[in-house]
Structure 1
Amino acid sequence: MRVCIRYSPGTPSISFTYPHHRMMWEPELPRPLPAYFLQEVFSTAPIYDLILCDLSPRTLVWLSRTCCRAHEAVTHFICRAYNINRHLSRCFPDPLAFRSLQARTGLVISGSNTLQFLDRSFYPESDLDLYAHPGHVYEALEWLESVGYKFQPEAWKQQQRDWRDEVSADWDGTARRITDHGEMTIDFEPDMEYSEVAGVYTFTRSVAMDTGTVVLKVQIIATKCNPIQTITQFHSTCVMNIITFDAAYSFYPVATFEERMAIQIPGSNRLDVVKKYVQRGWRVYAVFGPEHVTHPQLFLLNEKRWVGDRHCWSIPLDTTGVTPRPALSLSSEHFSWDPSIQNGWIMECEGVSAVTHVPRMRTHLVMITVFRYNYNFPDDKLTKAIRNWSLSQGQLNHAQLTKQNWIWFDAEIPRFRGVLSSHEQ
């Protein structure tokens, strides 16, 4: 529609004219934005940050595929939005020193802190949960004390004022780790909430922030097998996310961050924690429903999963300034990857039909002395192949070597995976 103002002697008159191809009651179609305008938007960080900050991870991926300028904008936004050093600076004055600790010990961040990082949110009352491999607990606790954190014993351990009374610095990785009955040799602690946990050690530190003094809380969770085994037995899937020294991973990203839903894992007695995540906006299911069957990408039932596989949401982190992992021993082959990425699981459904039935997380444990770390695999064939190979190698190690010159063969794990994968194709 065009508006014409005509002047004549006296009062000006206003008339309306319409193009011949559109009826007068049809609304005028919006004009497309010129290309230069979009290029200007995606070239100015203060502008496109305001747009991208409200988009979900999947939408960011879709947008990045529309054009080169959008892809560049999304890439730069992700680098700023998922800045791990900035994220950790709230708890640690030197984030790179902490990440170097992660690199040499395999220490993993999980729980609500990782969820906040991936969700670009903030829970002021939440703490930082760190999951440690057997044999690295002492070093992690000692490091926390060195940066100003103070040990806070549990209520039923008030007589224990020093964590060193319980944790030994001399861990013997060459000692038998599993019994003939397939049980872990570490004793259960009383009142433990998770059977996969050997101990929980709480530390606090008071820091001055803009709003006053804040008490920061960090917990070291000593795992009996490894962090992934413990995390896949969490109360629900929305917290099955981890941060290693070089990457962040979400195990169920579509369900967690797109649909804001989770499935409860049986066996956990932390129903109060489930309630907390419901209050934060997650829809938690006690059993599978029809939607979980018709949309298999949500929980990927009965599918072999690995940390960092194509179903995970994986964010590589900048490792500039992080001290790499050292060799395990003089004669052991060096590997630079985090032990967590060599672990997997399967979410199974107990019952004939998935509908109205509960999930079950299944893994095969490999706790063998020829490997420095314990592993859990989703594949029975892989597990048997590694165990059979380890019998002969273990006989050589135990017959000829001492703890001081032990050979660790963790670098063989990805090769076993590659060989089995090629045979299945």
Structure 2
Amino acid sequence: MDYSHNPKVPAGCQLNRILRDDNLRDLVIQRLPIKDTLTLARTCKEHRKLILGNRFDINAKLKRFNLDSIAFRTALGRSGALISGSFALQFLLGVVWKGTDLDVLVEAGTKMKMLDRFLVEKEGFAMASVERTGPSKAGGECRTYSKTSEDYGEAKIRLISCTSLPIQAILSESYTSCVMNFISWNKIYSIFPRTTFVDHETVPLSPQSNDHIPLLEKYRTRDFTVRNVVPQDGQGWDEARHRFVGDKQTWTLRLDTTGITPPEEPEFVLESCSFDMQYETRLSGNPGSHIVGDLDNVSIYDDYHAWCEPWRYIRICARTFTHPSLRYTYTDSNSTFFDRAFIDALDVQTREISSSTNRRSIVQVPLF
């Protein structure tokens, strides 16, 4: 089919023809950076549906792990689990990195057992290994499940048990900004979309140690500019910032939920979780600080501790809290319970629910 320029045919019509052709649309979208893909999707509603439905088809992307994606996402919702790690980043970039697993963070206990039974009894996975993950909010254990088939080869899924909410583990313990992406049963979230997908950079979120070097090098080979210091001018990073998971700075993308049974917990619980971003400066000579300078200027990892100059990183603070008047558990950013921003966020959600259901009593709202 010839789509060469024809002066009698408007350019928009030619674009429509290309986007409506499945094969041509795939070729175009697979080669576009995510920024250009979103720009193209904004040209009209029809284009948006065709482009985003193709680029962000979560069910198609999960097929390589040899499982029923609809049933799996239903189980994610019921257990409150979140897909994190490199898969979420690959999904947004529109790439596939060979040898990567599917990481799922889930609260330890009954919710962990629920997903364990689903993978083993429903999907036919076998537990390949169990490892301790250390004393942390994502501590407990990491269970690796594997399944082999002729069509997909060996697929591996890792269930990482959390001692608290999975979102708290992601917020508090991620080591660099480009991994701050996660997928719930119905949405995908990117906390630092501009730095990750526009600037294609990643900055530290914790004091860096020698253990982080192989991980950071991995993202360097994937064309990210790896910084071990936050730029001096900030480049959009504030010294202290109060944020929510579902705020306007987060890139939130709603996924197709056809066939999925929604969980009882409403989505605003996750999106109302708050956290603080603090801009910190330390000397490499301080205890626990090992990396300074530009990674390109240091070739021997063991020599990092010998460097002694100021370096900076973003520290994210998030703690869980519960209250007798709240049905669900949230994350808060500081020691002050019920800060003004949190109250305002819950008030908006409560009003929306009350309006949609014509309920006048706040007691009838699912939050309480």
State yes or no: 1:138 paired with 2:113. yes
Query: What is the CA-CA distance between 1:44 and the residue it aligns to?
Result: 2.7
Bigger Rg over Cα: 1
- The alignment yields a C-alpha RMSD, in angstroms, of 3.1
What is the rounded CA distance, in whole Å, between the counterparts of 2:57 and 2:18 in structure 1?
Answer: 19
Query: What is the CA-CA distance between 1:79 and the residue it aligns to?
Result: 0.6
Query: What is the CA-CA distance between 1:195 and the residue it aligns to?
Result: 4.8
Q: Deviations over 1:346-384 (max 9, x none)?
A: 2211249xx942221112431557756542123655546
Partner of 1:174: none
Partner letter of residue 246 of structure 2? G
* Aligned counterparts, 1:226-241, within 5 A: 226-232=165-171, 233-241=173-181
Partner letter of residue 77 of structure 1? I
What is the rounded CA distance, in whole Å, between the counterparts of 1:32 and 1:208 in structure 2?
Answer: 47
Q: Secondary structure of the equivalent of 1:78?
A: helix
Query: What is the CA-CA distance between 1:301 and the residue it aligns to?
Result: 4.9
> Measured at CA, do residues 101 and 338 of structure 1 come closer, stay the same or move farther in structure 2, by a change above 3 Å?
farther
Residues 317, 334 of structure 2: 8 Å contact kept? no
> Measured at CA, do residues 289 and 99 of structure 1 come closer, stay the same or move farther in structure 2, by a change above 3 Å?
same
Partner of 2:332: 377
Partner letter of residue 137 of structure 1? M
Query: What is the CA-CA distance between 1:114 and the residue it aligns to?
Result: 0.8
> Unpaired runs of 5+ in structure 1?
1-30, 156-188, 327-334, 388-411, 420-425
What is the rounded CA distance, in whole Å, between the counterparts of 1:84 and 1:413 in structure 2?
Answer: 32
Return the match for 2:47 from 62, 66, 73: 73
Q: Secondary structure of the equivalent of 2:10?
A: helix
* Aligned counterparts, 1:140-159, within 5 A: 140-146=115-121, 147-154=123-130
Q: Deviations over 1:306-332 (max 9, x none)?
A: 222211111101111001214xxxxxx
More displaced 10-residue stretch of structure 1: 45-54 or 250-259: 45-54
Q: Deviations over 1:223-277 (max 9, x none)?
A: 1111111112212110110111111111111111111111122256443222211
> Measured at CA, do residues 336 and 361 of structure 1 come closer, stay the same or move farther in structure 2, by a change above 3 Å?
closer
What is the rounded CA distance, in whole Å, between the counterparts of 2:155 and 2:41 in structure 1?
Answer: 37
Partner of 2:92: 118
Partner of 2:277: 347
Aligned residues: 311
Partner letter of residue 345 of structure 1? F
Q: Deviations over 1:370-409 (max 9, x none)?
A: 756542123655546899xxxxxxxxxxxxxxxxxxxxxx
Return the match for 1:271 from 213, 217, 232: 213
* Aligned counterparts, 1:183-332, within 5 A: 192=134, 194-209=136-151, 214-232=153-171, 233-267=173-207, 269-291=211-233, 293=234, 295-296=235-236, 299=237, 301-326=239-264
Query: TM-score if structure 2 supplies the norm length?
Result: 0.74
Residues 346, 362 of structure 1: 8 Å contact kept? yes
What is the rounded CA distance, in whole Å, between the counterparts of 1:338 and 1:150 in structure 2?
Answer: 34
> Unpaired runs of 5+ in structure 2?
283-309, 351-368
Q: Deviations over 1:3-33 (max 9, x none)?
A: xxxxxxxxxxxxxxxxxxxxxxxxxxxx996
Query: TM-score if structure 1 supplies the norm length?
Result: 0.65
Query: What is the CA-CA distance between 1:417 and the residue it aligns to?
Result: 7.1
> Measured at CA, do residues 142 and 125 of structure 1 come closer, stay the same or move farther in structure 2, by a change above 3 Å?
same
Partner letter of residue 378 of structure 1? S
Partner of 1:358: 313
The percentage of aligned residue pairs carrying the same residue is 23
> Measured at CA, do residues 374 and 284 of structure 1 come closer, stay the same or move farther in structure 2, by a change above 3 Å?
farther
What is the rounded CA distance, in whole Å, between the counterparts of 2:174 and 2:160 in structure 1?
Answer: 13
